[in-house]
Amino acid sequence: MIEVQNVTKRFGIFTAIERVTFTVDKGEVLAFLGPNGAGKTTTMRILTCFIPATEGIARVAGFDCFQQPMEVKRRIGYLPETLPLYQELTVTEYLTFVGRIKGLSAPELRTSLDRVVERLALGDVRDRLIANLSRGYQQRVGLAQALLHDPPVLILDEPTVGLDPKQIIEIRELIKSLAGSHTVILSTHILPEATASCQRVVIINNGRIVAVDSPERLSARLRQSEKISVTVKAPPSDLADRFRALPGVMTVFESSEPGSFLLECKLGRDLRDDVARFVVGNGWGLLELKTVSMTLEDVFLRLTQHEEGVEDAGGAPGAGQDVQTTEHPRA
Amino acid sequence: MTPVHAIIAKELRAYFVSPVVYVVGAVFLLIFGVLSYLAVVNAGTQAIRLMQIQGAAAQLNLNDLVFRPTFYSLAIVLLLVLPILTMRLFAEERKLHTFELLMTSPIGVNEIVVGKFLGAYVIYLGLLALTGLVPFVLSVYSSFDWNPVFTGYLGLALLGALFLATGVLASALTENQIVAAFLSFGVLIVVWLLGALGSILGDTPLGNTLSYLSFIEHYDRLVRGLVDTKDLVYYLCGLVLMLFLAHRVVESQRWK
Ligand SMILES: Nc1ncnc2c1ncn2[C@@H]1O[C@H](COP(=O)(O)OP(=O)(O)O)[C@@H](O)[C@H]1O
Ligand SMILES: [Mg+2]
C-alpha cells in the first residue's frame, strides 16, 4: 500500500533523511519510532506530498507522490504534528470545510460528519468554537479531520502528544480499531506507544532507518544479541556505515552524542577486539569500548537520553528520565 | 460546492468574525461619506457664487464637481485600506499550521489562491455596493449623467481587484502580516509613481510606457466615462499576473 524506496531529503546542505526504504502492507499499522529530529515528520511530509523528496521514490496505493499528488492526497488522511485547526470556527464548521476541500458531496459530507463525530465522541462540542476546546478535544478534532473522507491510508504524526494517560489509551484503542480496514503509519518518540498499537516498528535515527521488525521480535532480537558501546574521538562522517560493514555487526545505533555508537552483534561473537583494532588502526582515537546488556527500551532510552539531558539543563531538572511519561516541549 | 467555493465561504466566515473587517469597512465608508459630503458642500458654494454672478439658478455639473473628485480620492483610500484586508490571507494559514492541511488536501494551489482572492473581493464589492447609497440619494435631489458614475464604479471594481491581487501576492511572500501590508503599500505606491513619472516625461516612448504600466491613467479614463478595451485588458492582465505570481510563490515554498 505504501512504498518508500531510497528516499533522501536535503534542506540545503543538511540531510534530514537518507536513503530511507520501507513498505507498509494493506491493513497494517506501522510505527515510526525515533528521537526528536530523527526525520519522522520529514518522511511523513514526503508521503503526504507536502514536500518533495530530493531523491528516491515514494508511492501510496500505487500512485507516485511526486507525479500524481492529487491521487495520493485523495487517499490519505493526515494528522500533522501541529494541529491544523481554525480557532475561530466551530467543530461542525471546521469539519464541513475540510470535507468540502477533500471533495465530498453534500450528502456524503453529512453522513461522514455524523460518523466521525460519533466515532471520536465529539457530539457534546459540535457547536463550540475550536479555540475554547481542551487539548484532548482539539486532538480529537484533528483526528476527525484525518478520518473524515474515510481514506484507506492514515498518516498520523505523533497522535498522542500532549494528552493525558486516559486520552492516550482512547486514541490507541481508536488506532487499533482502524487496523485491518485502514493502512496506518504513526510516528512517535515514545517506545511503549509503538509497541502498544502497532504490528511493525521502524526505528529511525539521524535520518536513517536502523531497524524494522515487529515489536516482539525487535526486543527478542535485542535481548539475544551482544551489544557493544563504542566512543570514538574523531569519527569520520560515515563511521556508522563502516561499522555496519564489519563482519558480525547487525545494527548500528548512532547516539545524538557525537562519536558515540551502539553496535548490535550476532550472539556468541565477541567483536570488541575487532572493533578496537578497526578504530585504532584507522587512527580515529578510541575513547571507550565495552559490552552492554540492554533491552529495546534501554536502547531507545540511550538514543534519546542526550537530548533529554539538554532539556534538563534548559530548566526542567529531573524531568525526562522516564521515557514513558516524558513529553517533549514543542519548539 | 466546489473547493473554490469552500475556500471563499471559509474566508468570508473568517472575515466576519475578525474585527479587522469591521474597522476597515467603517473607515472606508466613513472616508467615502466625508469625501462626498465635502464635494457636495463645495458644489453648493459654487452654485451660490454662480447665482450671484449670473443672477439666475445655474445648472451645475455634479459629475465634475462631486463624483470625479470623490472617485480620485477614493483610489488613495483603497491603496491604504485594501492591503489590510489581504495581509492575513496566507500569513494566518501559516501561523495556524493550516497551510499543511490545505496543501495535503486534493485541491490545487490555483484554487486556494483564487478562492482567497475572491473571498476578499466579495467583501470589497459589498463595501462598494454600500457606497452606492450616495449617488442614489443625490439622484433624488438633482440630476446628473449616470454614465460616468457607472464607469467610475467599474474603475473602482477593477482597481480594487488589482490592489487585492497584489495583496494576495504580498501575503504569500511573508509570514508577517504587517510586512505583507507594507509590501503591498510599497508596490502599489511605486507603480502609482511610475505613472506620475510617465506624465512628467510626456509623449516620449518611455513616458508612454510608464504611463501605460501605471494603473492610474487607466482608472482616470474610466472615471471620465470612457470605456476603452485597452484599459480593461490592462486590469485583466495585471490581475492574472499577480495571482499567477502568488501561485508560483505558494508552490515554491514547498521546495525550501
Ligand atoms: N524546513 C526545514 N529546513 C531545514 N531543516 C529542517 C526542515 N524541516 C526539518 N528540518 C530538520 O530535519 C531534521 C528532521 O526533522 P523532523 O523530520 O521534523 O524530525 P522528527 O519529526 O523525527 O522530530 C531535523 O534536524 C530538523 O531540524
Ligand atoms: Mg516530528
Per residue in B216-238, pLDDT (tens digit) is: 888 888 888 888 888 899 999 99
B126 or B206: whose pLDDT is higher? B126
Distance of alpha carbon A147 from alpha carbon A156, whole angstroms: 10
* Beta-carbon separation of A89 and B13 below 8 A: yes
What total number of domains does chain A contain? Answer: 2
Would residue B239 count as lying in a domain?
yes
Would residue A115 count as lying in a domain?
yes
pLDDT of residue A319: 37
Over 50: is that where the pLDDT of A306 sits? Answer: no
Distance of alpha carbon B196 from alpha carbon B194, whole angstroms: 5
Shortest Cα distance from A302 to chain B (angstroms)?
A: 32
Mean pLDDT is lowest, of A255-259, B5-9, B238-242, for A255-259
Would residue B60 count as lying in a domain?
no
ipTM passes above 0.90: no
Would residue A191 count as lying in a domain?
yes
What total number of domains does chain B contain? Answer: 1
Nearest CA-CA partner of A183 in A27, A73, A78: A27
pLDDT of residue A302: 63
The CA A37 to ligand 2 mean position distance, Å, reads 7
Radius of gyration of chain B from Cα atoms? 20
Per-residue confidence band for A216, with pLDDT thresholds at 50, 70 and 90: confident
- Mean residue pLDDT of chain B comes to 87
Per-residue confidence band for B57, with pLDDT thresholds at 50, 70 and 90: low
- Please check whether residues A271 and A193 belong to one and the same domain: no
Tell which B residues from 104 to 133 touch A, by Cβ distance under 8 Å.
104-108
Residue to test with chain A: of B16, B100, B251, most A Cβ within 10 A: B100
Other C-beta atoms closer than 10 Å to the C-beta of A173 total: 12
From the centroid of its chain, how far is CA A155? Answer: 10
* Beta-carbon separation of A93 and B13 below 8 A: yes
Distance of alpha carbon A215 from alpha carbon A203, whole angstroms: 10
pLDDT (mean) for B74-91: 91
The CA A44 to ligand 2 mean position distance, Å, reads 9
Residue type, A220: A
- Please check whether residues A30 and A125 belong to one and the same domain: yes
Per-residue confidence band for A196, with pLDDT thresholds at 50, 70 and 90: confident
Distance of alpha carbon A84 from alpha carbon B101, whole angstroms: 6
**Ligand 1 interacting residues, C-beta cut-off 6 A:** A 11, 14, 16, 34, 36-42
Per-residue confidence band for B167, with pLDDT thresholds at 50, 70 and 90: very high
Over 50: is that where the pLDDT of A211 sits? Answer: yes
- Please check whether residues A139 and A158 belong to one and the same domain: yes
Burial class (CB in 10 A: 0-12, 13-18, 19+), A15: middle
- Please check whether residues A86 and A187 belong to one and the same domain: yes
Cell, residue B2: 466546489
- Please check whether residues A26 and A96 belong to one and the same domain: yes
pLDDT (mean) for A210-219: 79
Over 60: is that where the pLDDT of A316 sits? Answer: no
Domain that residue A110 falls in: 2-220+296-306
**Contact in structure between A116 and A122 (CB atoms under 8 Å):** yes
Over 60: is that where the pLDDT of A322 sits? Answer: no
- Please check whether residues A39 and A105 belong to one and the same domain: yes
pLDDT of residue B50: 77
pLDDT of residue B236: 93
From the centroid of its chain, how far is CA A244? Answer: 23
Residue with cell 468574525: B17
Q: Residue A10: beta bridge partners?
A: A15
Judge whether B18 is closer than 8 Å to chain A, CB to CB: yes
Chain B residue nearest residue A149, CA to CA? B105
Over 70: is that where the pLDDT of B150 sits? Answer: yes
pLDDT (mean) for A28-34: 90
- Please check whether residues A245 and A210 belong to one and the same domain: no
pLDDT of residue B135: 81
Would residue B144 count as lying in a domain?
yes
Tell me which residue has its CA closest to atom 6 in ligand 1. A11
Tell me which residue has its CA closest to atom 10 in ligand 1. A16
Would residue A313 count as lying in a domain?
no
Identify the H or E element spanning B43: helix B19-54
From start to end of chain A, where are the E strands? 2-11, 14-24, 29-33, 55-60, 63-64, 76-79, 153-157, 183-188, 200-205, 208-213, 226-232, 249-254, 260-265, 286-292
Identify the H or E element spanning B1: none
Would residue B29 count as lying in a domain?
no
- Please check whether residues A121 and A160 belong to one and the same domain: yes
Nearest neighbour of B106 by CB, restricted to A11, A70, A85: A70
Q: 3-state DSSP call for residue A24?
A: strand
* Beta-carbon separation of A80 and B100 below 8 A: yes
**A56-98 confidence digits (pLDDT tens):** 999 999 999 889 999 999 999 999 999 999 998 999 999 999 9
Query: Quick one: which ligand is closest to A14's CA?
Result: 1
pLDDT (mean) for B238-243: 95
Judge whether B100 is closer than 8 Å to chain A, CB to CB: yes
Cell, residue A163: 494528552
- Is the pTM higher than 0.95? The answer reads no
Domain that residue B92 falls in: 3-20+78-254
Chain B residue nearest residue A84, CA to CA? B98
How many cross-chain Cβ pairs, A to B, lie less than 8 Å apart? 74
- Please check whether residues A195 and A245 belong to one and the same domain: no
Q: 3-state DSSP call for residue A146?
A: helix
- Please check whether residues A100 and A245 belong to one and the same domain: no
Residue to test with chain B: of A74, A86, A87, A185, most B Cβ within 10 A: A86
Nearest CA-CA partner of A272 in A299, A292, A298, A242: A292
* Beta-carbon separation of B97 and A101 below 8 A: no
Would residue A18 count as lying in a domain?
yes
pLDDT of residue A267: 74
**Contact in structure between A141 and A134 (CB atoms under 8 Å):** no
Distance of alpha carbon B164 from alpha carbon B238, whole angstroms: 11
Judge whether B96 is closer than 8 Å to chain A, CB to CB: yes
DSSP A244-270: HHSTTEEEEEEPSSTTEEEEEE-TT--
pLDDT (mean) for B23-49: 86
**B172-185 confidence digits (pLDDT tens):** 999 899 999 999 99
Residues whose CB falls within 8 Å of the CB of residue B152, separated by 6 or more in sequence, listed in order: B67, B68, B71, B222, B223, B225
pLDDT (mean) for B45-64: 73
pLDDT of residue A312: 37
Over 70: is that where the pLDDT of B105 sits? Answer: yes
